[in-house]
Chains A and B, each alone.
Chain A
Amino acid sequence: MSLQKQQILNKEIDSFDFQSGGEASSDLKNILRKLGVPSKIVRKTAIITYELEMNVVIHSLGGEITALISEDELEIRVDDSGPGIEDLDKAFTAGFSTASDEIREMGFGAGMGLVNVKRYADQIDVKSSKDAGTHVKVIINLAN
């Protein structure tokens, strides 16, 4: 049974804001260190959060990221408004990307985003459909 989770981070993410993209993941990393979360988990979280954050920057019209924690679980929620993901199965396939050429030229959008997130997350739930935005919920186990 998981205890009541408390919110430790809530941040807006702007579309195409590459300057501040990555700030939420840095903030969350610092918070987890302050809470004494083991470094392996901090790293996982940093990777996941950064991927999700950049997804919002690159693919959506903006969104927000929220992190909640209890002693045994960390929950990261990323909600954006935007085109959504038409084919979720495809989005979980390595190398599949809908990033524009412009974005690819910048070195982003290699299509590892969600695949990477799935690799590091203990649970992942993605809700999305065309034009309904994307809503990702990731769980990382802290207990043991």
Chain B
Amino acid sequence: MTRKHSVLLKEEKCEGCTNCVKGCPTKAIRVHQGKAWIKEDLCIDCAECIRACEYHAKYTKTDQLEKIVKTSDYPVLLIPPSFYSQFSAEISSQKIKKAIQNLGFRAVFDVAEAAAALSRKTLDFLNNNQGSYISTSCPVIVRLIKLQFPDLIEMLIPLKSPVELIAERIKRKFKEEKNINPDIFFLTPCPAKLTTVNRAIGQKESFLSGAIGVENIYQKIYESLADIELKTEAGRVITLATIWGSEGGEEGILKSWQELNTLSVSGIKEAKKLLNEIERNNIPDAIRYFELTSCTNGCIGGVLNVINPFQAQFNLEERIKKIREITQAHNLDFEKDDDQFYNFALSESITADNVSKLDSDFKKAMQKLEQLQKEIDILPGLDCAACGAPDCKTFAEDVVNGRASRADCIFMLRKQLGKLADDLSILAHELPPVMASQKEESDDS
């Protein structure tokens, strides 16, 4: 079964409060019959609802390790830069990788390698093209732009994300050199990357077969670390591009090579604000590149991570220091021959998700707009969410689109009841003429 989304509702745990409804950046959730349902066409998998829910009714279901190891002939796991933030810098990256491989993977690779290559390519792209660009690496940001800022799609840099880059390269390499078709999985810090497995961005299909949430295997890795003995700290040290795991990592690398105006913003609310300003040209043209991530602090803030983001930030910085010490290099290499083995360009154009239209016929849309205004005017404007929608305006839109009824608003219901009661009492006093005359007569006597 291909799911459209990775953020799901555990019905039995949902209390029907409206915390997630209010916090959803795309207004994708409605409480209906006591449960907070997600509208698939609006959800961008940002995981804000998972963060907001006190009852843990919103969750994400990633692939299970046991199943992968059992069913795949050649499972390969990709490790994101942010994963290293989950461990103290004292534990070597080689050891961590060995522990992961021991879980049953034929090989493990660092996504940071591709991130390094992508940084070089990005700078090259910016130097050869005019205008300002937005990073395509965070799938939530791309989805948000497709949905709410379709006019900014042309600003998305047309390059693959590091995960897809490396997955594609590994697939090709294994096929050519060993005639093996590996199943590539991603160790994901967020639900959104899992969604891209089924719904790739700017590509026909993803090169991934699945994704495992960090929380699924962290414990196992952590426990096995003590038993791992490496003869020497064999294998290469991870790259400085591991800093991509936290906010500003990407722009920091670009700036270490060349003077460049860039801006990094993390957190979905801030990202929305920035996109809004970009949309109305209220951001200097001189800024050439925007690094936007949906999670606060960048990927280390991903909801599937285990370590708190503050500690994670510290760990990552310490590790970068270590890499610098070992490699005796302060900056990431500006050139590397094997970049040519990556296939950077996106193969398909990114298209808008046009869901805000009231109707595809202009005249009908105008009529609905008028109706919508009327509906908004009669609602109390309290945005109490008792109707199950995040605010009165959204509720009014649901009513106009036939997805909710006006009486779902308790204030409208009360009004209607009040009117009904008034009508009743009037009716009660309007006695039938026969009875009325009798009454008069008896009064006279």
Provide the residues of chain A in CB contact with B150, threshold 8 Å. 39
Chain B residue, CB-CB nearest to A41: B151
Inter-subunit contact B281/A34 (CB<8 Å): no
Inter-subunit contact A34/B358 (CB<8 Å): yes
Provide the residues of chain A in CB contact with B365, threshold 8 Å. 34-36
Which of A25-33, A78-86, A128-136 makes up part of the contact surface? Answer: A25-33
B17 at the interface (CB under 8 A from A): no
Inter-subunit contact A47/B369 (CB<8 Å): no
B33 at the interface (CB under 8 A from A): no
Report the bound CA distance from A96 to B362 in whole Å.
40
Chain B residue, CB-CB nearest to A116: B281
B178 at the interface (CB under 8 A from A): no
B352 at the interface (CB under 8 A from A): yes
Provide the residues of chain A in CB contact with B358, threshold 8 Å. 34-36
Inter-subunit contact A71/B369 (CB<8 Å): no
B355-384 interface with A by 8 A CB criterion: 356-360, 362-363, 365-366, 368-370, 372
Interface residue range, chain B: 20 to 34
Inter-subunit contact B369/A34 (CB<8 Å): yes
B280 at the interface (CB under 8 A from A): yes
**Total cross-chain contacts (CB, 8 A):** 55
**CB proximity of B101 to chain A, nearest CB, Å:** 46
**CB proximity of A110 to chain B, nearest CB, Å:** 10
Q: Beyond A36-B362, A39-B151, A43-B151, is A50–B282 a contact (Cβ under 8 Å)?
A: yes
Provide the residues of chain A in CB contact with B372, threshold 8 Å. 34
Report the bound CA distance from A35 to B372 in whole Å.
12
Chain B residue, CB-CB nearest to A43: B151
Inter-subunit contact B357/A36 (CB<8 Å): yes
Inter-subunit contact A35/B366 (CB<8 Å): yes
B279 at the interface (CB under 8 A from A): yes
Provide the residues of chain A in CB contact with B281, threshold 8 Å. 47, 50-51, 116
Main secondary structure of the interface of A (DSSP, over half): helix
B276 at the interface (CB under 8 A from A): yes
Report the bound CA distance from A38 to B152 in whole Å.
12
**CB proximity of B271 to chain A, nearest CB, Å:** 16
Q: Beyond A34-B356, A36-B357, is A22–B280 a contact (Cβ under 8 Å)?
A: yes
Report the bound CA distance from A50 to B277 in whole Å.
10
Provide the residues of chain B in CB contact with A57, threshold 8 Å. none
A42 at the interface (CB under 8 A from B): yes
Most buried by B among A6, A35, A49, A50: A35
B277-301 interface with A by 8 A CB criterion: 279-282
**CB proximity of B16 to chain A, nearest CB, Å:** 28
Inter-subunit contact A43/B279 (CB<8 Å): yes
Inter-subunit contact B369/A46 (CB<8 Å): no
Provide the residues of chain B in CB contact with A30, threshold 8 Å. 356
A45-84 interface with B by 8 A CB criterion: 46-47, 49-51, 69, 71
Q: Beyond A6-B366, A50-B280, A50-B281, is A35–B151 a contact (Cβ under 8 Å)?
A: no
A9-37 interface with B by 8 A CB criterion: 22, 25-26, 29-31, 33-36
**CB proximity of A95 to chain B, nearest CB, Å:** 15
Report the bound CA distance from A6 to B362 in whole Å.
12
A72-113 interface with B by 8 A CB criterion: none
Inter-subunit contact B360/A71 (CB<8 Å): no
Provide the residues of chain A in CB contact with B369, threshold 8 Å. 8, 31, 34-35
Most buried by B among A25, A33, A49: A33
**CB proximity of B364 to chain A, nearest CB, Å:** 10
**CB proximity of A51 to chain B, nearest CB, Å:** 8
Report the bound CA distance from A46 to B363 in whole Å.
22
Report the bound CA distance from A40 to B154 in whole Å.
10
Q: Which of B152, B356, B370 contacts A33 (CB 8 A)?
A: B356
Report the bound CA distance from A12 to B352 in whole Å.
32
Chain A residue, CB-CB nearest to B280: A50
B contact set with A: CB distance below 8 Å: 150-153, 276, 279-282, 352, 354, 356-360, 362-363, 365-366, 368-370, 372
Q: List 23 A-B contacts (CB under 8 A).
A: A25-B280, A29-B279, A31-B369, A33-B357, A34-B356, A34-B357, A34-B372, A35-B357, A35-B362, A36-B358, A36-B360, A36-B362, A39-B150, A39-B151, A39-B352, A43-B152, A46-B280, A47-B279, A47-B280, A47-B281, A50-B280, A71-B363, A116-B281
Question: Which 10 pairs, one residue from A and one from B, show the smallest C-beta to C-beta distance?
Answer: A43-B151, A39-B151, A50-B280, A36-B357, A39-B150, A33-B356, A46-B280, A47-B281, A35-B365, A34-B358
Given A6-B370, A36-B359, 7 more pairs with CB closer than 8 A: A8-B369, A29-B279, A34-B372, A47-B279, A51-B281, A71-B363, A116-B281
